[in-house]
Amino acid sequence: MFIYKHTKPISVVNFNNEDIALASRLNDIGGTSWDGNAKDDTRYLRGDITKRKLLKEKIKKHLLVAQCNYCYYCGISFKFFGPSGTHIDHFYPKDSSNHYGKYTFEPYNLVLACFRCNGLDYKRQKDYTLNYNDNYMLITSKIVHPHIDDISLHFNVDSGGIIIPINENPDKATFMISEFDLNSSHFVTIRIGQISRVNPTVENQIANIISARAHIGGIME
Ligand SMILES: [Zn+2]
């Protein structure tokens, strides 16, 4: 079995006080604050749109490192997709069912995904909530959560590049594999190529560093 790239825990982005103030304002505005214009809502302050752009860049930069340049969902390197094919995904969709607009700039709700996984055929606006709770950390999901769950306890990869559910309760992993078509011949072929380049010692060192950094930061109130 291999420690696969996207089986490693990843850390949330660490906001400074200015980031927190901006994120709180944007979260109050809701899902439209991700891309909306200042003229659409009087709650924006002067300079917010520029600051928002910088904050998104900070989030993306952090997640690229935290995820070792791999899509969280399919585990394929972003180098296959390029910068425009690398998206910040809202794990719980910012536009769905009104629950999650307040988490538009919540670090725990943000993860990088390739354009394919974040695209129309796969995740897009799908809501994988199992049970909603007003406390974000207590919401349960049908697929493995990038920050709250430890994906390495759910997934493993055999030498043939096939993802195997390993948890005592394999429902999340099984559903995620099916939803994202993770064991399709396309993904397995790419995965085998990635595995052949894996150096287990280096991989474990990187995993330990990332693991130590995991869960820095906090839920936005
Ligand atoms: Zn992907």
Lowest mean pLDDT of 3-7, 97-101, 142-146, 160-164, name the range: 3-7
Instruction: Please tell me the predicted confidence (pLDDT) of residue 215.
Output: 43
> In which region does residue 79 sit, left (phi positive, over 0), alpha (psi from -120 to 50) or beta (all else)?
alpha
In degrees and rounded to multiples of 5, residue 144 shows phi and psi of -70, 125
Q: How remote is the CA of residue 110 from the centroid of ligand 1, in Å?
A: 14
Cα of 25 vs centre of ligand 1, distance in Å, is 30
| Interatomic CA distance for residues 178 and 163, integer angstroms | 11
Tokens of 68: 């070792």
Q: Ligand 1 centroid vs 78 CA: distance in angstroms?
A: 8
Query: Which pTM value belongs to this model?
Result: 0.84
Interval between CA 113 and ligand 1 midpoint (Å): 5
Ligand 1 centroid, distance to 50 Cα (angstroms): 28
Q: Can you give the residue ranges of every domain in the chain?
A: 5-213
Determine contact, residues 211/203, Cβ cutoff 8 Å.
Answer: no
Q: Which of 31-35, 100-104, 211-215 has the lowest mean pLDDT?
A: 211-215
Q: How far is the CA of 39 from the centre of ligand 1 (A)?
A: 34
Separation of CA 68 and ligand 1 centre (Å): 13
Q: Which residues pair with 131 in a beta bridge?
A: 140
Separation of alpha carbons 57 and 62, rounded Å: 9
CA angle 156/161/167 to nearest 5° reads: 15
- pLDDT tens for residues 149-207? 988 889 888 888 899 999 888 999 999 999 999 999 988 988 887 766 655 555 555 45
- The owner of tokens 């659409």 is 40
In the chain, the N- to C-terminal Cα span, in Å, equals 40
Least confident range of 45-49, 96-100, 143-147: 96-100
Q: How far apart are CA 189 and CA 177, in angstroms?
A: 15
Give backbone dihedrals phi and psi of 220, rounded to 5 degrees, phi first.
-80, 135
Q: Please give the C-alpha separations between residue 48 and each of 24, 35, 38, 54, 58, in angstroms, as whole numbers.
A: 12, 12, 8, 10, 15
Question: Rounded mean pLDDT of the chain?
Answer: 84
Residue 201 to residue 214: CA distance in whole angstroms: 20
CA of 85 to the centre of ligand 1 (A): 9
Residue 73's closest CA among 185, 175, 202?
Answer: 175
Distances (CA, A) of 90 to 15, 76, 97: 17, 19, 14
Could you give the 3-state DSSP secondary structure of residue 158?
coil
Distance 46 CA to ligand 1 centre (A): 36
Q: Render pLDDT for 94-127 as a digit per residue (tens, 0 to 9).
A: 986 668 999 999 999 999 999 889 987 777 778 9
